[in-house]
């Protein structure tokens, strides 16, 4: 059976996803029926031509306004006609995430790297689970944590096979990984904190406003997603990521500034970060911004921590890598570690496509 796919969000990740699906479109495994930006859309129940035609130009020239309601109706008709149908949400939209239950109740499966649905309130989370259970439509979200890395699937397998998850800890932000890999080395020396942040921004590793990375919210969202897969913690974070104990690295005096002003003034606080680096060096440690889920103490936190210079978090990371350690009953003496590129359009789109192919099982 051919899988009918509608894609919302065709920026870096969305465009790469289309590119990666082309061989599957050619072999009729996947039929792309819809493409949408925040303003415009294309839809064809029989499939859009994304192989031979310039779909980007066609989409930008479309006079059809983007409408989640219309898309829901169009995809619902395909489900009624017996088509296996999926919505690919490549946005970071709260509004689209809030509509997941309605798509699922219509029998439309959802694949997404959008962290909003699984890291917001418990009420939305349970509404999504209920809608999925009712119709059998599936929602898969591997790419919400670690892009294409097998983090969520690994945790699901550990739990499903009866392992006891004791603690999960990891460097979950590619941006913060890069910043502290450059700033806090085993040698204890390096460039100033502000200069590293500036370079990270210029390389496109940060959000347009670096404060959106430095505030730790992205890590808190990922911790929320993971904690809700652990039975003893699934109801702990009533307000989602807002309930996570989160240490922000944004100086109080810089809160509310524009991205450009933030970067230009961050150097005023270099001495503070230099003190943190020097303190870690005295203990033969490095600084890493990590997320920790301790199922034994019920602690879930995102914070700047010190790790020994011979710890994997100090020695194994490079660039914007993610690394996560699963401490479980079975993996007691040595944790199960997953590491690799945790950001980037190609690996994120791969994670989305991998989930999509699971719907063909």
pLDDT in tens, the chain (361 residues): 899 999 999 999 999 999 999 999 999 999 999 999 999 999 999 999 999 999 999 999 999 999 999 999 999 999 999 999 999 999 999 999 999 999 999 999 999 999 999 999 999 999 999 999 999 999 999 999 999 999 999 999 999 999 999 999 999 999 999 999 999 999 888 899 999 999 999 988 888 899 999 999 999 999 999 999 999 999 999 999 999 999 999 999 999 999 999 999 999 999 999 999 999 999 999 999 999 999 999 999 999 999 999 999 998 888 889 999 999 999 988 999 999 988 889 999 999 999 999 999 7
In this structure, the strands spanning 165-171 and 109-111 are unpaired
In this structure, the strands spanning 336-341 and 165-171 are unpaired
Residue 203: what pLDDT? 86
Residue 239: what pLDDT? 95
| Binding annotation for NADP(+) | 9-14
101 shares a domain with 123? yes
Residue 1: what pLDDT? 80
> What is the chain's length?
361
180: domain CATH number is 3.30.360.10
Residue 48: what pLDDT? 97
Find how far residue 179's CA is from the centre of its chain.
18
155 shares a domain with 8? no
Residue 142: what pLDDT? 96
Compute and round to an integer the Cα radius of gyration of the chain.
21
183 shares a domain with 297? yes
83 shares a domain with 192? no
Residue 198 known to be catalytic: no
Question: Catalytic one among 84, 198, 222, 285?
Answer: 222
Residue 12: what pLDDT? 92
How far apart CA 91 and CA 72 sit, in angstroms, is 16
Domain that holds residue 204: 151-342
| Binding annotation | 9-14, 91, 115, 207
69 shares a domain with 157? no
Report helix, strand or coil for 302: strand
261 shares a domain with 314? yes
How far apart CA 87 and CA 126 sit, in angstroms, is 19
Residue 317: what pLDDT? 87
287 shares a domain with 184? yes
243 shares a domain with 163? yes
| Binding annotation for NADPH | 91, 115
Number of domains in the chain: 2
239 shares a domain with 353? no
214 shares a domain with 335? yes
Q: Say what the pTM is.
A: 0.94
Enter the DSSP assignment of 145. T
36: domain CATH number is 3.40.50.720
Positive or negative, the Cα torsion across 98, 99, 102, 107? negative
**Predicted confidence (pLDDT) per residue in 116-141, tens digit:** 999 999 999 999 999 999 999 999 99
249 shares a domain with 179? yes
Q: Smallest Cα–Cα separation from 326: which of 206, 134, 198, 163? A: 163
354 shares a domain with 334? no
């Amino acid at each position: 059976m051919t899988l009918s796919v509608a894609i919302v969000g065709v920026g870096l990740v969305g465009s790469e996803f289309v590119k990666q699906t082309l061989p599957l479109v050619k072999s009729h495994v996947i039929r792309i029926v819809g493409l949408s930006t925040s303003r415009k859309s294309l839809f064809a129940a029989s499939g859009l031509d994304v192989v031979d035609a310039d779909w980007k130009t066609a989409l930008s020239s479309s006079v059809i306004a983007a409408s989640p309601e219309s898309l829901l109706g169009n995809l619902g008709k395909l489900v009624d006609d017996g088509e296996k149908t999926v919505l690919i949400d490549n946005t970071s939209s709260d509004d689209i995430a809030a509509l997941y239950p309605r798509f699922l109740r219509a029998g439309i499966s959802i694949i997404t790297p959008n962290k909003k649905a699984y890291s917001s309130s418990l009420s939305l989370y349970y509404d999504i689970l209920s809608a999925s259970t009712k119709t059998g439509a599936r929602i898969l979200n591997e790419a919400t944590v670690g892009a294409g890395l097998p983090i969520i699937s690994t945790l699901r397998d550990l739990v499903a096979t009866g392992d006891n998850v004791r603690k999960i800890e990891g460097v979950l932000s590619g941006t913060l990984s890069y910043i502290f890999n450059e700033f806090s080395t085993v040698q204890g020396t390096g460039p100033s904190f502000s200069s590293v942040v500036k370079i990270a921004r210029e390389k496109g590793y940060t959000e347009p406003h670096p404060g959106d990375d430095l505030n730790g919210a992205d890590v808190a969202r990922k911790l929320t997603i993971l904690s809700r897969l652990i039975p003893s913690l699934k109801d702990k974070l009533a307000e989602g990521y807002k309930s996570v104990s989160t240490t922000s690295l944004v100086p109080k005096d810089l809160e509310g500034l524009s991205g450009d002003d933030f970067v230009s003034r961050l150097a005023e606080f270099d001495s503070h970060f230099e003190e943190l680096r020097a303190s870690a060096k005295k203990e033969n440690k490095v600084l890493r911004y990590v997320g920790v889920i301790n199922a034994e103490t019920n602690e879930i936190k995102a914070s700047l921590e010190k790790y020994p210079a011979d710890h994997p978090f100090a020695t194994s990371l490079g660039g914007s890598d993610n690394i996560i350690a699963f401490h479980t009953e079975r993996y007691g003496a040595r944790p199960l570690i997953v590491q690799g590129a945790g950001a980037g359009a190609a690996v994120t789109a791969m994670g989305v496509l991998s989930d999509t192919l699971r719907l063909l099982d």
